[in-house]
Structure 1
Amino acid sequence: MEFQALILISVATLGFISLCSSIINLVKWVYIMFLRPPKNLKRSYGSWAVITGSTDGIGKAIAMELASEGLNLVLVGRDSLKLESTSSEIRRRIGDRVSIRTIVIDFAKVGGEEIEKRIGEEIEGLDVGVLINNAGLAYPFARFFHEVDLNLMESVVGVNIVGATWVTKAVLAGMLKKKKGAIVNIGSGSSGAAVSSYPLYTIYAATKAYIELFSRCISLEYKQHGIDVQCQIPLLVATKMTSIKRTSFFIPSPETYSKASLRAIGYEQISIPYWPHSLQCCLIRALPDVVQDYCLLRYFLGMRKRGLKKQQQEQQQKK
């Protein structure tokens, strides 16, 4: 009887501890998502922000938000016309309160050392406090690994890995001198942060997994120097890259996502800033890996089929 009572007490204690832990995690989540004040980025880090992939989607929306916070901008992109259009749009909305510079560079076609040199020269003398590594490239549609041609493979790796790595290296030098700065690398739920696998987008998902681990490691290296490094994990956002036009509860507009993004800067190493995405991740993680893998594979096989059909139709129209 005493042994049975001891077992019951032990089980009840473990249950109580588990319940308390869940309640604490819930309270912490509510505080982070809704109550925690955002940092004053200009005062905390510096007066200039560098944003890559700044002419569309999340990057453009973040640039607009940063400008509204009073930060001067260095917009980095591969298309000079789009950069000029984005700059003009920001000036129309914000006015002359901020300065804007642009850097035209294509990470898919330029080597790492040249990226570092170009960025370093352009930002020399600027009080760069925030870096947003947002530039990203994915497949036009789902495909098997052996179907990815060399040009696409090199472009995805060049933009997602080489670009982010060497831009970070270029910006770090100035941040180390003044012993403060914030680096935000835009990752993806495909990296493993939300799902167990991401079949038929293998190289893209692998590059985002690199970004996540890269962020964790340099965060530990440079936290002692006053530099906050963070990898933000968006799930689906209504952008050209995702080919999604309609927004919903789980699929925000870039503008909605960018507001959540700025609130999270300077805090956790890995952040899912948009709270419905965080909720979505919890629901996905509750599923066994084998169920996730099966559902994702079937879903992406359907996307591949539709993509191939559309590609064939476009080829026929060109003939």
Structure 2
Amino acid sequence: MSPIINFINQLITISRRQQQQPWLVVLPVSALGFIILLKHSMSLLKCIYITFLRQPKNLKSYGSWALITGATDGIGKAFAHQLAQHGLNLILVSRNHNKLEKISNEIQAENPNTQINIVEYDFSCDVVSAGNIKAIEMAIDGLEVGVLINNVGITYPKAMFFHEVDEKEWMDIVRVNLEGTTRVTKAVLTGMMRRKKGAIVNIGSGAAIV
């Protein structure tokens, strides 16, 4: 008997056994389905616990100051207001001095006891021209910065392919989103490591996973 015919006969035999004893198929499939369902259920329960049930952390335990980049608009501005409400003093970093003054006054009016330092800094230019972040390093010198919100970021003015983006635009993106964020993190991390505590939050875009 040829190997092919022998193989076919074996398949037929297995098929007949499965028909006679369907649990041989149903049981493994059911077990696999149960494991998958259990895994997703645990993920859902974990998400619910983290979002709604877990006690919030006391951010002041990390340090009395929080540094926020890109603090004058959108998410950065919202973080500034929320952190001030939680009793943290603020170091606000942005390239627009007028906006920095405005948000500083807003937060100060809502939270009179909050100390606020503002740093005018353009990540797309200053990182290159100075080669470092001296202005920010000076602003945090001697302060217990326990929370860092890396919110500053830019992207293309409109949807386009990479080869369509001119060099200045993509270099600005690299300087702001990568180099600037990395340098700020390094500057703040030194104090956090010395105190053995701190929290760093990096804000990103969904475009990063495309």
Regarding TM over 0.5, the answer is: yes
Sequence identity (%): 52
Aligned to 1:227: none
Aligned to 1:13: 31
**Which of these residues, 40, 64, 70, is aligned with residue 81 of structure 2?**
64
Q: Deviations over 1:270-297 (max 9, x none)?
A: xxxxxxxxxxxxxxxxxxxxxxxxxxxx
Aligned to 1:48: 65
Matches within 5 A, 1:174-253: 174-192=191-209, 197=210
Aligned-pair CA distance for 1:143? 2.1
Q: Whose Rg is larger?
A: 2
Aligned-pair CA distance for 1:156? 1.4
Aligned to 1:103: 119
| Contact 1:46-1:181 at 8 Å conserved across structures | yes
Aligned-pair CA distance for 1:4? 4.2
| Contact 1:117-1:170 at 8 Å conserved across structures | no
SS in 2 for 1:111: helix
Aligned-pair CA distance for 1:114? 4.0
| Contact 1:49-1:71 at 8 Å conserved across structures | yes
2:37 and 2:88 mapped to 1: Cα distance? 44
2:132 and 2:108 mapped to 1: Cα distance? 27
1:114 and 1:75 mapped to 2: Cα distance? 21
Aligned to 2:40: 22
User: Which runs of 5 or more residues in structure 1 are unaligned?
Assistant: 198-319
Matches within 5 A, 1:53-202: 53-95=70-112, 97-111=113-127, 114-192=131-209, 197=210
1:47 and 1:68 mapped to 2: Cα distance? 13
| Contact 1:107-1:115 at 8 Å conserved across structures | no
| Length-normalised TM-score, structure 1 | 0.57
2:131 and 2:86 mapped to 1: Cα distance? 31
RMSD between aligned residues: 1.6
Aligned to 2:4: none
Aligned-pair CA distance for 1:136? 0.8
Aligned-pair CA distance for 1:50? 0.3
| Contact 2:126-2:133 at 8 Å conserved across structures | no
